[in-house]
Amino acid sequence: MHSERILVVEDEEALSDILRDALKRHGYKIERAFDGDTGLEMAEKLLPDLIILDIMLPRMDGWEVCRRLKENKKTSAIPIILLTARRDEQDVVAGLDLGADDYIRKPFSLIELAARVRSVLRRSKANNNKENSIKIGPLEMDFERQIVSLWGENLDLSPTEYHLLEILARNKERVLSREELLAKGWGYYLGDSRTVDVHISRLRRKIEEDPENPKLLHTVRGRGYMIKWKEKSA
């Protein structure tokens, strides 16, 4: 089963239903928006793994949605598959120029849809850090066996702490906002940003010699958290 989350932005309800049902059968989690504005809002909140974006939308069309998604730092890395009814090759080229990853012409077969989705997700994963293990200073994580060690000693982390640490480690030296951590970690609806702070401080007690002066898990004021090894804490 996949657990990737896909946001479908399509105003035609019947087609949106078909997309949802087909993708759900493949094990994806589906979120839906029926216009461009809502699509943008949901993309920013949910940070899905993929967006399937119809071009012909009421008010704000798919081009504009695509352009704004790519302009926004939070959403710019999310791959986009455009749905187009148009025959014009120029449109497809324009869409790919805007940063879309692929396109599907209507009408399409569900087999084609599933294949495109799979291939775009595979490519996007390859761009993220999907290694099996990582070493950050004295911290080592084995993602396959879910083992974490510090200076060679195994650590006992709760599943939530482990998950949080994995997200941070896979994005090492990158600042992740609380919202990003929530979206990647627990799902947007399941917690608030205070929950993140609580788990971070628990994690620090386990991975930092002095939790007050962290050398691994840093707070970046006003922005979020980042994992980076610094011998001397800032």
Task: List residues near Ca ion by CB under 5 A.
Answer: 11, 54, 56
Give residue number: closest CB to Ca ion. 56
Q: Which value, to the nearest 10 degrees, does the dihedral of the CA atoms of residues 61, 110, 50, 187 take?
A: 110
Q: Quick check: 216 and 160 in contact, CB under 8 A?
A: no
- Of 70 and 86, which CB lies nearer to Ca ion in the complex structure? 86
For residue 14, the minimal CB distance to Ca ion (Å) is 11
Q: How large is the C-alpha radius of gyration of the chain?
A: 20
Closer to Ca ion at the Cβ: 63 or 225?
63
Smallest gap, in angstroms, from Cβ of residue 185 to Ca ion?
33
Of 4 and 11, CB closest to Ca ion: 11
Residues 216, 139 contacting (CB under 8 angstroms): yes
Rounded-to-integer distance, Cα 38 and Cα 227, Å: 33
| CA dist list (Å): 110 to 8, 22, 24 | 15, 7, 12
Return the number of the residue (110 or 147) whose C-beta is nearest Ca ion: 110
Whichever of 75 and 84 has its CB closer to Ca ion, that residue is 84
With 0-12 / 13-18 / 19 or more C-beta atoms within 10 angstroms meaning exposed / middle / buried, residue 8 is buried
Q: How far is the CB of 28 from Ca ion (least distance, A)?
A: 21
